[in-house]
Structure 1
Amino acid sequence: MECQICHRDFQTNACCVNGHFVCDECHTRGMDAIVGVCLSNTSRDPLEVLEELMSQPFCHMHGPEHHTIVGAALLTAYRNAGGNVDLSDALDTMLLRGRQVPGGICGMWGSCGAAISAGIFVSIVTKSTPLESEAFGLANTMTSRALAKIGAVGGPRCCKRDSYLAILEAVQFTKEHLGVSMGETYPTCTRIAKNRQCIGNRCPFTPANVARRDAAQAVSPTK
């Protein structure tokens, strides 16, 4: 199809209900702002960093930008929590790799880009390559754990929900395997009205479900 913005032709798996198509490059235009936002953010909580990135003009309700901002938020919080990483270089690498993950692969490839982004985060901080042993295993295990959480909830897609799930799992993984304790809040969705495919009560982040979770933890707190 022809991109409605740059007018180049692309092989695509999806278009809008009116038959229009926008390519990934045009969809994510302005995403270089990630670097400045992250370098100036001091939070140890990747979900706080993620929310700032989601509020930027380049970020839509759904789209391949989430394949980059998940890893960028994790890298930023990791550095702020004491993790050993050159954040500027790491963010450049995250942008390069995240942009290579196509839109729509959650349904077409069986591998949500938010989970892959969490795996890219681990690959960067552990300096993984295809020839590594432990780092290779850690990066792939991170992706698989995030995918398991996303798969357990099911579809249809919600890039916000899947990003939250990937980051929550990455926080636990980073503490267990990398020895860095990042901050951890539990998000409440504020974008239900903007998502035509919202799964409602099946989503763990609806206000009602978060309230039930908080009430249960108040009665029987967990670590």
Structure 2
Amino acid sequence: MENKFNCLICSEELEYFDESKEMDCYFCKKKFSANASCKSGHYVCDSCHSLGAFEIIREYCLKSNSINPMEMALDLMKHPSVKMHGPEHHYLVPAVLVTAYLNSIGDRTNLEKLLNEGEKRAKNVLGGFCGFYGACGAAVGTGIYISLILGASPLSEEKWGLSNLITAKALEKIASFGGPRCCKRDTFLALETAVDFTKEKLNVQLKKKENLKCNYSKINDQCLKDRCKFHKE
């Protein structure tokens, strides 16, 4: 969540060691000699602590072996650069989906290339796209995902259709909850749609996080509360 104190991951108080310990960074997974962590053992290196949203999304995905895009998204949302709302979610969606897909099929050869291209495309989806253009950026992110993994272009046939179809399905699901926008809700809905779509159309099984409950209601003035399926009482 935003405005975290102490641990970036769980907000617990930090503990300082008399002697440095070797620890893995929560985000980049690299090993560091560290002199502090929270009581739960979370450690974030100085580099990841200071990275911007697009950078931390890319770096995290490059190190992740997960096939659960929703859990990956929840992890990334803990980083302070990923705000309550913002266009970084337009990249977060295709990034975690591409990563989970390539991990699932066991071929990460083009991961960095696809993440870089996905970032370029996502940056063309402006903030406020949902209300001003009638196309939520999280849903567009699912279309970017399918386009990237299938190599679709404006001249493609079936691949073109699938890229547009997943966006349409994600938009329909997001629209069914009505407004105002919530980048967390819309991201979760887009990812749920993409996991189902990937299994149905590509026969690749990604994992879902069942019974996901959102922890961001208190910092979202426009939260739908009990009208949102992810609302936590």
TM range (shorter): 0.7 to 0.9
Give the equivalent residue in structure 1 for 2:77: 54
Partners of 1:145 and 1:30 lie apart in 2 by: 27
Matched, 1:200 2:200: no
Q: How far has the Cα of 1:57 moved from its partner? A: 2.6
SS in 1 for 2:54: coil
Partners of 1:55 and 1:41 lie apart in 2 by: 16
Q: Larger deviation: 182-191 or 139-148?
A: 182-191
Change (3 A) 1:193 1:76: same
> What is the aligned-residue identity percentage?
43
**Aligned residues, how many?**
181
Partners of 1:67 and 1:206 lie apart in 2 by: 22
Partners of 1:146 and 1:30 lie apart in 2 by: 23
Letter in 1 for 2:180: P
Q: How far has the Cα of 1:179 moved from its partner? A: 1.3
Letter in 1 for 2:100: A
Cα offsets for 1:47-99 (capped at 9, x unmatched): 01111221223210001000000110111111111165611111001111011
Give the equivalent residue in structure 2 for 1:88: 112
Structure having the higher strand fraction is 2
**Structure 2, unaligned runs of 5 or more:** 1-50
Q: Could you state the TM-score of these two structures normalised by the residue count of structure 1?
A: 0.78
Partners of 1:29 and 1:161 lie apart in 2 by: 22
Give the equivalent residue in structure 1 for 2:136: 112
Matched, 1:158 2:152: no
Letter in 2 for 1:203: C
CA contact (8 A) 1:84 1:125 kept: no
Structure having the higher helix fraction is 1
Q: Could you state the TM-score of these two structures normalised by the residue count of structure 2?
A: 0.75
Give the equivalent residue in structure 2 for 1:75: 98
Cα offsets for 1:98-149 (capped at 9, x unmatched): 1110000101111000000011000000100000000000000000000000
Q: Larger deviation: 52-61 or 77-86?
A: 77-86
CA contact (8 A) 1:38 1:73 kept: yes
Letter in 1 for 2:226: N
Letter in 1 for 2:166: M
Change (3 A) 1:83 1:75: farther
Partners of 1:116 and 1:83 lie apart in 2 by: 25
Partners of 2:218 and 2:59 lie apart in 1 by: 30
Give the equivalent residue in structure 1 for 2:68: 45
CA contact (8 A) 1:49 1:76 kept: no
Partners of 2:196 and 2:126 lie apart in 1 by: 27
Change (3 A) 1:83 1:170: farther
Q: Which one of 3, 9, 31 corresponds to residue 54 of structure 2? A: 31
Letter in 1 for 2:105: G
Partners of 2:178 and 2:53 lie apart in 1 by: 30
Output the aligned Cα RMSD. 1.4
**Structure 1, unaligned runs of 5 or more:** 1-27, 209-223
